[in-house]
A and B are shown apart, each in its own frame.
Chain A
Amino acid sequence: KNEVEQSPQNLTAQEGEFITINCSYSVGISALHWLQQHPGGGIVSLFMLSSGKKKHGRLIATINIQEKHSSLHITASHPRDSAVYICAVSPKPNTGNQFYFGTGTSLTVIP
């Protein structure tokens, strides 16, 4: 079973486009994380959300706890945004403090 589902799996966009990546989950959570992974690189934490919306530069993350859904938006996309974006949730209760991960969305932004 997959506790976390992401869509789309792959996404190609032109530079400047507005991008949305979706994440749905099926378990109770204490927090949801959006992570970024560049090819050959480690994983960087972008956002941690438990409610509402957060913004950092051109990135915006929203979460709807009732609908168990989160979105990551990128405004004015740029080729350097090309990476894999991973949604992960901290389940509640969380005796092991572990994550459930989505399989990621591979984003390519073309100049």
Chain B
Amino acid sequence: GAGVSQTPSNKVTEKGKYVELRCDPISGHTALYWYRQSLGQGPEFLIYFQGTGAADDSGLPNDRFFAVRPEGSVSTLKIQRTERGDSAVYLCASSLGQGRALAGGISTDTQYFGPGTRLTVL
């Protein structure tokens, strides 16, 4: 079946511009996560949605970063006034959400990652 998809796969922009990154989660997954991975580092948590609401946005680095998920499915990560330090791979993941168990013994804690969007700010 279809996994998590992210668009675009690559985005090059100039310092100061606005960018939007899109994530399409697996159908039926209520939880959606955004992470950022800088070169040579592990992923860094940004924000987590349960349904339409941001359950935890404590990882957003500053108010230039904002994410929405208006219908509880597709999510958009928005970055205003981009800076060179924002250059990274932005990863999206989805999961079924807590409190539900899947067939085959997979826990709802399992997150499925998309391929990422590589953002380069020049």
Instruction: State the A residues within 8 Å of B (CB).
Output: 4, 30-31, 33, 35, 41-45, 48, 86, 88, 90, 95-104
**Which A residue sits closest to B54, measured CB to CB?**
A96
Nearest-neighbor residue (CB-CB) of B97 within chain A: A97
Report the Cα distance A95→B109, complex, angstroms: 12
Contact A48 B107 (CB under 8 A): yes
- Chain B interface size band reads 20 to 34
A43-B48 contact given A48-B107, A97-B31, A97-B109, CB 8 Å threshold: no
Q: Which of A45, A48, A98 contacts B59 (CB 8 A)?
A: A98
Contact with A along B92-112 (1 / 0, CB 8 A): 010101100000001101111
A99–B56 touching, CB < 8 Å: no
Chain B residues in 8 Å Cβ range of A103: 40-42
B44 within 8 A of A: yes
